[in-house]
């Protein structure tokens, strides 16, 4: 890390703990921005890796890069995901402690990509025997399969994981991966039956339809058209440009084989996928309260694909089994109930098959260490995920604090308490027994009577209504009420407020499948489904656990696992919502910095000291800065460091010496030391060269210096060349305007000139590469202004440093509404469009200032409005010319064609930004070469063929008067009078 400290102004700091102003969110974001601009997507907060999605392939994941990070200390190389992967792996091997890598961030932030990068790193760098190679292959191949069944296109991410997963990789004592395990949390099953506009169902459905061979589709009774399937048309988005379903199908099909699925299993799996599509097409008709299935085509396919009896399935899809007075009765379902029973079956079949698939993959391998937190935008799931985030944040802060505290303790440094927000209060609000939101939800789901989402909300108000982190519409103050629905509750999470709509909470929490549908599935002959629907479930009279309680229990288990491991963290950030590379949307990023708790993390990490290093590392790096430690320190390491920092003038409050490490409190102390080292390196380099050259024929070389290169002068000439290059290296021009260049020795004049040109080309190239489109446009306009006005108009030089403001006179984008309102002469519009307009003043023939006018520019014409009454449209194409004086005034004349009798004559205008205004008009009107810059006077047409003249005379103030000769006379400050 130290290697890049010198470039910190341009590329920011590689570790946020080195930010001087570490409590400032603005400084944090600025640092991210600087690095992102340079394609540096990774930055540390201590050992936490912050990663910003580049949305483009970067050349930083090659085998060479992997090699660079292998076995190297964190701080010796620039931040990278490979450093985290390698560090965890080495800690596991050397400290014999289980490791885990936690990856979090919102949808599309890059979690899946991050986990793949880690897997690839291990696959390439870990040792492997032949047997291990199989595990490695399976490990990598499980990804496309999991993604096909668990990922979908959402508005935020074309390949969004719709389940949370925890992967565990096991390594043997030699460090080779020998196995793994995946736990999946909360698959978003509702996606199987419904998708929001612009979103898709899980990828596998489209892959099968697009890529499946003809006879396979025939067997499954499927058509090659996703529009035919009710479960695939809801989002109205069957095709996605970034996804190739056909080739993905091939990848998945092959991967299934690699991870050990035989042909029969694949066949059964695809039967299930196809049957879900057929289920979606089951249509109901019949009278209200008595649903019947309108066509038996689907049932025929379903019976075959699911291996069930068609008639029994039909009955189960239209009836519900109830037990009255010990007798079983079949009660008909109405249309709505039947549709939701059908959808519940589809969700259960797909959800359980997914779990089966994950277990099957688990059986085929034995492997890793990370958690991906999904982000779902549906209320109940979002509630669960945010609860999970809240727990992870709690763990994160606790563990960071704990490890800081432990380090201080082991180093014998007094711990200074850190103020931080403890989110236990929010975790309790959600999970506490009897009193927490989950308990209240379960109670409503299980109690007899008419429980509904609304009674749940009321119960919440009664029970946790007074909690400082809980609000509902009823309990809120007036302001909050305006942004809350009556069917919502709001939680004040550590990361901010979130409103949850209670609709669907009870249903999703119950996640019930009618008993008779379960019975049908238990009778299935499909081998996968027989494992998914266990007959024992039918005899178990106990109610199955609710979804929230299951989730809470699995989270508790997860926390236990994580607590027992050494965690590493990767925090992923999404730079914009449009999946564009190079776009840094500050508002969105600030939200994530908050949501991920990064400032809190930095505060805790920076609480005491910004920087710490082991004595030997510190001494090795900086020993040349002190005569006592250079070239080698022979005594105790701690004493060497003490002498070194004393020599460097560190003040006592700037550092502490622990048992094996030095702790430096402020980044500026480290930076100053680093800068001193840079300077020292140059002088060291020169002096060693110098002494060598002196020893060998230096004087002789001097005497022969003007001769051709020969044995007598070669050392001398090399030395001269070396010192000139070193001098150049230290004094290179800083930017394209910096024309300084060290004087070369006679022998290097030509080479120096070549270098100077190369250096300039390079700077120009770099400058052009970094130029934004807006800045390019600005420069182009400035160039045109220079062509027109340089050395011709007195106030041109003052305009050079002032930026042209795009909103002042924007040639384009005039809102059509504005134009329309202008046609109607509506006054209010003037203020509305003021950002596009420049106030101008008209001078009438008597020389009085007339009422102010607005000049609006559009791409094809200018419109002049005078208090919204007078409207004149000047067509740029027809403009005869533009005249302006050579003095410093802002007066100018637009000459309009005299045969246009709608015009009242030429337009005389005044602008405070005359150079900018005229440049922009000249560009729009294509009149760059025909601007008349007049010395004495300008003629203009007044209308009906009459002429007026404006005389310009230099003066100390602006004055317009009607002179005796009838001309308008304008005293304009000359360039001399403007200081």
The footprint of ligand ATP (CB under 6 A) covers: 53-58, 105, 107-113, 157, 159-161, 374-375, 572
Cis peptide before 631 (omega within 30 of 0): yes
Taking every pair of Cα atoms in the chain, the longest distance, rounded to a whole number of angstroms, is: 121
Considering the complex, state which of residue 35 and residue 808 has its C-beta at the smaller distance from ligand ATP: 35
Report the residue number, 100 or 918, with the smaller CB distance to ligand ATP.
100
Nearest to 785 by CA among 971, 977, 777, 876: 777
Structure tokens at 962: 């009607």
Q: How far is the CB of 105 from ligand ATP (least distance, A)?
A: 5
Residues 523, 309 contacting (CB under 8 angstroms): yes
Q: For 483-490, which contacts have Cβ atoms below 8 Å and span 24 or more sequence positions?
A: 487/453, 487/454, 487/457, 489/457, 489/460
Residue 160 main-chain phi, psi, to 5 deg: -90, 130
Separation of alpha carbons 743 and 776, rounded Å: 34
Backbone φ, ψ for residue 331 (5° rounding) = -105, 130
State which residue, 60 or 822, has the beta carbon closest to ligand ATP.
60
CB of 357 to ligand ATP, least distance (A): 17
Q: What are the counts of helices (DSSP H) followed by strands (DSSP E) for the chain?
A: 37, 31
Min CB(552)–ligand ATP separation in Å: 21
Task: Give dist(CA 257, CA 129) in Å, integer.
Answer: 21
Give strand pairing partners of 952.
970
**Could you give the angle at the alpha carbon of 741 between the alpha carbons of 758 and 750, nearest 5°?**
55
Query: Strand 968-973 vs strand 946-955: parallel, antiparallel, or unpaired?
Result: parallel
What span, in angstroms and rounded, lies between the C-alpha atoms of 292 and 289?
A: 10
Min. distance of Cβ 415 from ligand ATP in angstroms?
36
**What's the CA gap between 941 and 893, in Å, rounded?**
10
Find out whether 110 is annotated in a ligand binding site. Answer: yes
> Which residue's structure tokens are 């491991």?
565
Q: Mapped to the 3 state alphabet, what secondary structure does 551-607 carry?
A: HHHHHHHHHHHHHCCEEEEEEEECCCCCCCCCCCCHHHHHHHHHHCCHHHHHHHHHC
CB of 158 to ligand ATP, least distance (A): 6
Please tell me whether 597 is known to bind a ligand.
no
C-beta of 107 vs 911, nearer to ligand ATP: 107
- DSSP 8-state assignment for residue 302: H
Instruction: Identify which of residues 194 and 680 has a Cβ nearer to ligand ATP in the complex.
Output: 194
Whole-number Å distance between alpha carbons of 410 and 513? 56
Lookup: tokens for 473: 């519409």
Measured from the CB atom, the residue of 82 and 892 that comes closer to ligand ATP is 82
C-beta of 115: minimal distance to ligand ATP in Å?
8
Strands (E), 105-191: 151-152, 160-161, 164-171, 177-185
To ligand ATP, the closest distance from the beta carbon of 906 in angstroms equals 58
Residue closer to ligand ATP by CB (options 159, 953) is 159
* Nearer CB in complex with ligand ATP: 155/760: 155
Which tokens go with 20? 């001087």
Per the annotation, does 46 bind a ligand?
no
Comparison of 53 and 386: residue with beta carbon closer to ligand ATP: 53
Beta strand 164-171 with 177-185: parallel, antiparallel or unpaired? antiparallel
Q: Which helix (H) or strand (E) holds 125?
A: helix 111-125
CA dist 263 and 268 (Å) reads 9
Minimum distance from residue 484 beta carbon to ligand ATP (Å):
27
Nearer to ligand ATP, 111 or 473 (CB): 111
Our CB check for ligand ATP shows the closer of 343 and 375 to be 375
Min dist CB 36 to ligand ATP, Å, is: 12
* Lookup: tokens for 485: 């629905």
- Least separation in angstroms between CB 792 and ligand ATP: 51
Which residue, 113 or 844, has its beta carbon nearer to ligand ATP?
113
Does the annotation flag 107 for ligand binding? yes
Q: State in angstroms the smallest separation of the CB of 312 from ligand ATP.
A: 39
Tokens of 112: 């899946």
CB of 116 to ligand ATP, least distance (A): 8
Angle separating helix axes 130-150 and 111-125, nearest 10 degrees: 170
Q: How far is the CB of 57 from ligand ATP (least distance, A)?
A: 6
- Rounded-to-integer distance, Cα 336 and Cα 334, Å: 6
Task: Compare residues 112 and 885 and give the one whose CB is closer to ligand ATP.
Answer: 112
The Cα–Cα gap between 345 and 358 comes to 20
Rounded to the nearest whole angstrom, what is the least distance from the CB of residue 474 to ligand ATP in the complex? 34
The DSSP annotation for 354-416 comes to HHHHHHHHHHH--B--EEE-----SHHHHHHHHHHHHHHHHHHHHHHHHHHHHHHHHHT----
859 labeled binding residue: no
Does residue 927 have a known ligand-binding role? no
Could you tell me where the DSSP H helices lie in 55-129? 63-69, 81-95, 111-125
Phi, psi of 879 (to 5 degrees): -55, 130
Give the residue with the Cβ less far from ligand ATP, 517 or 572.
572
Q: Binding site annotation covers 235?
A: no
160 vs 969, beta carbon nearer ligand ATP: 160
**109 annotated ligand binder:** yes
| Residue 551 exposure: Cα atoms within 13 Å on the Cβ side | 30
- Distance in angstroms (rounded) separating the CA atoms of residues 392 and 398: 10
> d(Cα 601, Cα 495) in Å, to the nearest integer?
13
Minimum CB separation of residue 398 from ligand ATP in Å reads 24
- Residues at the binding site are 105-112
- Residues at the binding site for ATP are 105-112
């Amino acid at each position: 890390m130290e290697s890049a400290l010198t470039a910190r102004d341009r590329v920011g700091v590689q570790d946020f703990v080195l930010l001087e102003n570490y409590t400032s969110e603005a400084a944090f974001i600025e640092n991210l921005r600087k690095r992102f601009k340079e394609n540096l997507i990774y930055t540390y907060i201590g050992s936490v890796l912050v990663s910003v999605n580049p949305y483009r392939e970067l050349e930083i994941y090659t085998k060479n890069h992997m090699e660079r990070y292998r076995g190297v200390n964190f701080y010796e190389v620039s931040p990278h995901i490979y450093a985290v992967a390698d560090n965890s792996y080495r800690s596991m091997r050397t400290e014999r402690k289980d490791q885990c890598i936690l990856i979090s961030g919102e949808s599309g932030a890059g979690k899946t990509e991050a986990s793949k990068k880690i897997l690839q790193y291990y696959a390439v760098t870990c040792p492997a025997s032949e047997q291990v190679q199989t595990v490695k292959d399976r490990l990598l191949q499980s990804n496309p399969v999991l993604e096909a069944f668990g990922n979908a296109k959402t508005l935020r991410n074309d390949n969004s994981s719709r389940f949370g997963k925890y992967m565990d990789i096991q390594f043997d004592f030699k460090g080779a991966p020998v196995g793994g395990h995946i736990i999946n949390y909360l698959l978003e099953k509702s996606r199987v039956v419904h998708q929001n506009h612009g979103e898709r169902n899980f990828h596998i459905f489209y892959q099968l339809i697009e890529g499946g061979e003809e006879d396979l589709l025939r067997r499954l009774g499927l058509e090659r058209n996703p529009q035919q399937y009710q479960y695939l048309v809801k989002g109205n988005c069957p095709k996605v440009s970034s996804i190739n379903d056909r080739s993905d199908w091939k990848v998945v099909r092959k991967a299934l084989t690699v991870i050990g699925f035989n042909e029969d299993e694949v066949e059964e799996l695809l039967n299930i996928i196809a049957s879900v599509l057929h289920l979606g097409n089951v249509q109901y008709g019949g009278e209200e309260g008595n649903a019947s299935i309108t066509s038996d085509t689907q049932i025929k396919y379903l019976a075959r694909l699911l291996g069930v009896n068609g008639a029994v399935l039909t009955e189960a899809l239209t009836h519900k089994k109830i037990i009255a007075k010990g007798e079983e009765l079949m009660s008909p379902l109405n249309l709505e109930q039947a549709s939701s029973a059908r959808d519940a079956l589809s969700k259960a079949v797909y959800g359980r098959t997914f779990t089966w698939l994950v277990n099957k993959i688990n059986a085929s391998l034995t492997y890793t260490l990370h958690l991906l937190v999904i982000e779902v935008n549906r209320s109940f799931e979002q509630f669960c995920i945010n609860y999970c985030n809240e727990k992870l944040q709690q763990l994160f802060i606790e563990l960071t604090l704990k490890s800081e505290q432990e380090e201080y303790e082991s180093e014998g440094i007094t711990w200074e308490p850190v103020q931080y927000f403890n989110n236990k209060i929010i975790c309790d609000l959600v999970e506490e027994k009897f009193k927490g939101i989950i308990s209240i939800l379960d109670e409503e789901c299980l109690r007899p009577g008419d429980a509904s989402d609304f009674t749940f909300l009321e119960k919440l108000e009664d029970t946790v209504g007074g909690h400082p982190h809980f609000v509902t519409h009823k309990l809120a103050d007036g302001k909050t009420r305006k942004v809350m629905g009556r069917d919502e509750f709001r939680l004040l999470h550590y990361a901010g407020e979130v409103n949850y709509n209670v609709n669907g909470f009870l249903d999703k929490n119950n996640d019930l499948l009618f008993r008779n549908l379960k019975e049908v599935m238990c009778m299935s002959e499909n081998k996968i489904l027989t494992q998914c629907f266990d007959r024992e479930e039918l005899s178990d009279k106990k109610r199955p656990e609710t979804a929230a309680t299951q989730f809470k229990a699995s989270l508790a288990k997860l926390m236990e696992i994580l607590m027992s491991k050494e965690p590493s963290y990767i925090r992923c950030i999404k730079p914009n919502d449009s999946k564009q590379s190079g776009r840094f949307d500050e508002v969105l990023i600030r939200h994530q910095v908050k949501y991920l708790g990064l400032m809190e993390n930095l505060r805790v990490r920076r609480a005491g000291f910004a920087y710490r290093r082991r004595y030997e590392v510190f001494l090795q790096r900086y020993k040349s800065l002190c005569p006592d430690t250079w070239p080698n320190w022979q005594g105790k390491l701690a004493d060497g460091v003490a002498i070194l920092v004393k020599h460097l003038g560190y003040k006592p409050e700037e550092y502490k010496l622990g048992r094996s490490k030095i702790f430096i409190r402020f980044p500026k102390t480290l930076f100053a030391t680093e800068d001193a080292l840079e300077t020292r390196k140059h002088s060291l380099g020169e002096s060693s060269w110098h002494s060598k050259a002196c020893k060998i024929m230096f004087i002789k070389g001097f005497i022969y210096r003007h001769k051709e290169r020969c044995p007598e002068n070669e050392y001398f000439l090399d030395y001269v060349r070396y010192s000139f290059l070193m001098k150049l290296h230290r004094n290179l021009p800083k930017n394209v305007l910096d024309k300084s260049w060290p004087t070369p020795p006679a022998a290097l004049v030509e080479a120096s000139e070549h270098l100077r040109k190369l250096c300039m080309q390079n700077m120009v190239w770099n400058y052009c590469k970094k130029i934004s489109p807006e800045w390019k446009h600005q420069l182009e306009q400035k160039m045109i202004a220079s062509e027109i006005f340089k050395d011709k108009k007195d106030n041109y030089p003052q305009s050079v440093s002032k930026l042209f403001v795009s909103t002042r006179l924007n040639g384009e984008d005039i809102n059509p509404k504005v134009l329309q309102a202008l046609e109607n002469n509506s006054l209010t519009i003037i203020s509305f469009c003021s950002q596009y307009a420049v106030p101008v003043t008209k001078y009438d023939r008597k020389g009085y200032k007339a009422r102010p006018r607005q000049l609006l520019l559009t791409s094809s014409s200018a419109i002049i409005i005078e208090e919204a009454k007078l409207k004149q449209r000047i067509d740029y194409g027809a403009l005869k010319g533009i005249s302006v004086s050579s003095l410093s005034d802002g007066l100018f004349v637009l000459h309009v064609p005299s045969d246009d009798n709608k015009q009242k004559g030429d337009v005389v205008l005044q602008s405070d930004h005359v150079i900018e205004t005229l440049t922009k008009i000249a560009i729009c009107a294509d009149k760059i070469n025909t601007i008349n810059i007049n010395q004495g006077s300008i003629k203009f047409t007044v209308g009906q063929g009459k002429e007026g003249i404006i005389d310009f005379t230099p003066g100390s103030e602006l004055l317009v008067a009607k002179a005796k000769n009838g001309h308008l006379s304008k005293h304009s400050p000359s360039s001399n009078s403007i200081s």
